[in-house]
Amino acid sequence: MEASAGLVAGSHNRNELVVIRRDGDPGPKPPPREQNGQVCQICGDDVGLAPGGEPFVACNECAFPVCRDCYEYERREGTQNCPQCRTRYKRLKGCQRVTGDEEEDGVDDLDNEFNWNGHDSRSVADSMLYGRGGDPNGAPQPFQLNPNVPLLTNGQMVDDIPPEQHALVPSFMGGGGKRIHPLPYADPSLPVQPRSMDPSKDLAAYGYGSVAWKERVENWKQRQERMHQTRNDGGGDDGDDADLPLMDESRQPLSRKIPLPSSQINPYRMIIIIRLVVLGFFFHYRVMHPVNDAFALWLISVICEIWFAMSWILDQFPKWFPIERETYLDRLSLRFDKEGQPSQLAPIDFFVSTVDPLKEPPLVTANTVLSILSVDYPVDKVSCYVSDDGAAMLTFEALSETSEFAKKWAPFCKRYNIEPRAPEWYFQQKIDYLKDKVAANFVRERRAMKREYEEFKVRINALVAKAQKVPEEGWTMQDGTPWPGNNVRDHPGMIQVFLGQSGGLDCEGNELPRLVYVSREKRPGYNHHKKAGAMNALVRVSAVLSNAPYLLNLDCDHYINNSKAIKEAMCFMMDPLLGKKVCYVQFPQRFDGIDRHDRYANRNVVFFDINMKGLDGIQGPIYVGTGCVFRRQALYGYDAPKTKKPPSRTCNCWPKWCFCCCCCGNRKHKKKTTKPKTEKKKLLFFKKEENQSPAYALGEIDEAAPGAENEKAGIVNQQKLEKKFGQSSVFATSTLLENGGTLKSASPASLLKEAIHVISCGYEDKTDWGKEIGWIYGSVTEDILTGFKMHCHGWRSIYCIPKRPAFKGSAPLNLSDRLHQVLRWALGSIEIFFSNHCPLWYGYGGGLKFLERFSYINSIVYPWTSIPLLAYCTLPAICLLTGKFITPELNNVASLWFMSLFICIFATSILEMRWSGVGIDDWWRNEQFWVIGGVSSHLFAVFQGLLKVIAGVDTSFTVTSKGGDDDEFSELYTFKWTTLLIPPTTLLLLNFIGVVAGVSNAINNGYESWGPLFGKLFFAFWVIVHLYPFLKGLVGRQNRTPTIVIVWSILLASIFSLLWVRIDPFLAKDDGPLLEECGLDCN
């Protein structure tokens, strides 16, 4: 991709494609060797140099200019002849052998003689797209066993593996030391002649060993024997001998699971069981002892308590198996990223999504992009795609400025290893920035870089100020061309590559990661599916341009706080034992700019440090929308790979007739299901499910019959792929490449055209996008649905908590913004509840585990708790006003159950805080906001969800504001009125009035009425204390008067006023004893 190609805008449906170049850009510069004729006449790329530094020459007869890639492709897949003189290409040094190569003098290239990298699924995918096969005739060649290969095991069974699979194939090292295991198949296109070898002889006799190698093997055997001997003697746990490793360090696991200590988890589980038992006795008492004079209050309270108990069960039991994990970055480097060798780490594509630059400031997005471009990862493995769903020219120009500043910022970060790599937060942190810095010029360069960043901020602020007033004729670009996105609801798709392979080097001349601006096409009459649709468009664009096997999505306000976070995720994704079944690695969300007390529980510490750790011990955490590394194949709706079960073993102690019965039963069953061989092959192809693996899809082509049937099967298979993934053959073919990578035979111009095609507004029509593929549609919380579908396909997820937080973002400080954010989350859960993907009835019989389903059910049911919660918070005020209560007078047994229940509730919370490390302040803030959000945002979400389902009234999506004022926490005290504030305010007033009325009633009725009053007051104060943060936000600063003073002043003033009226110290007593006149005349 040309980084200087300009903005590409177009519409596939309208057959439009326009290239708009920036001001002062005359167009793409010719290659430096075009004037000398050194341009490949097949693909148009630079011919390049040979390993010796000389110009690469493919044909020694006519010197026809062909690059090395086309030369190798022609030898491997084509006619193997020069296009000009028709002379057969000879094998050059460093190239693999193909059929027909002759032994040449002076060419002894043992390192590349058995290079099999070209014969993988990429060749099959390329043949599907361009009609090329594995031989000159174009027909793919299936793998077959070679009967002439000698067996190293001499026909004996080894480790339950049949002898025919022990064919000796010389093992070799492929690509940076990655171990390639011997393959039991031989490719007909590679005439590798295995040598006959005697297993009793030394391998050095055949050139496969040396004296040093023999000594190394002998030393390893001795260490193994010593290690086993030490273990047998019972002294293998002291770890004093450093020479007794289990295996080489680079082959050890990249991560490990750390279960919690039994001293912490066992009491926690015991108290949960005890709490369940106490709940049973509590409800038995509550149901069997109704309150006759307040039956309605009693019935409402019992129903609410039963609902709370069910909600607690759904929330509690997914936390039964909490675990922690540990990664080993040094082992990852030893295995895949050795110094001085090409990196074998997997490529990764970053997704950043933004909509409104006024609510999501461009400076915030720029910091996120800068942290991505300077991440500690090989630059050729990183691509960053920014989705501008608002088609704002402000975002486009800000991204252009960001790409220029990145050329200075990225080398500075990597040179001095600074953290974090978002400049705004790096220069704001109040720490000793000279710690661990030894370079003499660091201070000078840091000051210069800070000045550069301040100038960059001024340029961004100037763009923002300019964008406040939109011209009547719309925005125009620097060259005078009208901005294609002037109409936000009707504009073509736009793609701009700012940084890439052939442009955008940093100030030190090093390559920078690819940076691509994407704005998908918008037309009236189409449902664009908001953020989920934008993410799916990025999936398709990235598959066409870079097609990395892993993806990471970030909100525009979440920057990379730990530059090694991607390597942390790769410790799980690239683990040979665990990685194949991992669909995504979720990182916890951490936030900057939150007040010290976290008034509105923005940090969500209880959820991220307790609930998510519990889910990690079952099938993995749920997807929370940002800070998540995905496996691309899992997003395509494929099933997780099945774990091969070991062969079953029989026991000799069973009687023989048992085996006879089993065998007879199996034979009868097999006879019933026996079908002709041709029918089996047809079923193998046509009974394919939508979610099978790409390897199976490729296997179907090989399984088909040769000749015309094979060609027909390939056509049908390609039609199925296009029906599932869309009408782009380039994208459909890329889905078959499990390890990622793009097709080399495609030109950059054709890739750009396909990229515009896949972001067209009608591309997803009549496909599985949003139903089975990508981000799932049907809810504003598309993250829950997407993770749920993956878990239903049998995948598992991983929860990774590095010591240094991986990502940090901004949270809404204002009470109204926070409630609107919670409203959106709750509304999404209600939409899932009424959809076809509801966890209550969807996904049975798949790969979703039972306790994992509990957590998903809880994630969609929790908004309904707002109805019983609102009723329960109203009961104290009603009881205080009416003088009645929800329970009868308690006897000793009833008091025991009530006290036991309260003790179990507190004990469960304390033990949770103990094993998770969550502080009591964070736990209490979470409890408070559970009540605040439950009686406001959750309640409105329930009614809005019902209106949408019953009446079809849709709700608009509100983007949470990401910007704040210059004054720290100034927005925390800003009062913004919204209807969400009505229910909590009403509850507060009712309970305050109830407290005042209850106290006055007790004062009027005398000493005996104070006893029953305490239970009602405790109930009312429970509500008031939980709503206290809401009251504090409602009152605001009040000239910095503490809110608690105002609250208690009102409460105490009301009580003392009632006491004053009751005592009446300055008035005569009129209600004294009545004296009657005596009837006797005493005089």
DSSP E strand boundaries for 226-381: 255-259, 323-327, 348-354
Q: Provide φ and ψ at 218, rounded to 5°.
A: -65, -40
For residue 530, say whether it is annotated as part of any ligand binding site.
yes
DSSP E strand boundaries for 493-549: 493-499, 514-519
Q: How far apart are CA 944 and CA 870, in angstroms?
A: 17
Q: How far apart are CA 848 and CA 844, in angstroms?
A: 7
Return the closest-CA partner of residue 939 out of 1023, 877, 1038, 866: 866
Residues sharing a CB contact under 8 Å with residue 417, sequence separation 6 or more, in sequence order? none
Give the torsion through C-alpha atoms of 356, 362, 365, 367, to 10 deg: -170
Residues sharing a CB contact under 8 Å with residue 487, sequence separation 6 or more, in sequence order? none
Q: How far apart are CA 635 and CA 583, in angstroms?
A: 8
Q: Tell me which amino acid residue 271 is.
A: I
Q: Around 1032, how many Cα atoms within 13 Å sit in the side-chain half-sphere?
A: 20
Q: How far apart are CA 958 and CA 947, in angstroms?
A: 18
β-pairing verdict for 796-799 and 582-586: parallel
Q: Active site residue: 126, 315, 557, 783, which one?
A: 783
Structure token digits, residue 143: 């793998």
For residue 315, say whether it is annotated as part of any ligand binding site.
no
Residues 13-22 as b or e (16 or more Cβ within 10 Å = b): eeeebeebbe
- The strand pairing partners of 326, in sequence order, are 256
How far the first Cα of the chain sits from its last, in Å, is 128
Q: How far apart are CA 172 and CA 149, in angstroms?
A: 17
Q: How far apart are CA 863 and CA 942, in angstroms?
A: 7
Q: How far apart are CA 1065 and CA 1003, in angstroms?
A: 16
Q: Active site residue: 101, 389, 598, 922, which one?
A: 389
In contact, 48 and 20? CB cutoff 8 Å: no
Return the closest-CA partner of residue 410 out of 428, 397, 423, 400: 423
Residues sharing a CB contact under 8 Å with residue 397, sequence separation 6 or more, in sequence order? 463
How many residues does the structure list for the chain?
Answer: 1083
- Asked about 783 being catalytic, the answer comes back as yes
- Asked about 389 being catalytic, the answer comes back as yes
Burial class (CB in 10 A: 0-12, 13-18, 19+), 358: middle
- The strand pairing partners of 592, in sequence order, are 810
Structure token digits, residue 387: 């989705």
Chain-centre distance for alpha carbon 848:
18
β-pairing verdict for 559-560 and 807-810: antiparallel
Structure token digits, residue 552: 């990471």
Residue 217: how many CB atoms within 10 A of its CB? 12
Give the torsion through C-alpha atoms of 385, 391, 392, 398, to 10 deg: 20
Q: Tell me which amino acid residue 261 is.
A: P
For residue 555, say whether it is annotated as part of any ligand binding site.
yes
Chain-centre distance for alpha carbon 238:
39
Q: How far apart are CA 311 and CA 374, in angstroms?
A: 45
Which single residue is written with the structure tokens 């030369």? 71
DSSP 607: I
β-pairing verdict for 550-555 and 590-592: unpaired
Residue 609: C-alpha distances to residues 247, 603, 807 (Å): 34, 10, 15
For residue 389, say whether it is annotated as part of any ligand binding site.
yes
- The strand pairing partners of 522, in sequence order, are 491
Tell me which residues are annotated as active site: 389, 783
Binding residues for UDP-alpha-D-glucose: 353, 359-360, 389, 530
Binding residues for Mn(2+): 531, 555
Binding residues: 353, 359-360, 389, 530-531, 555
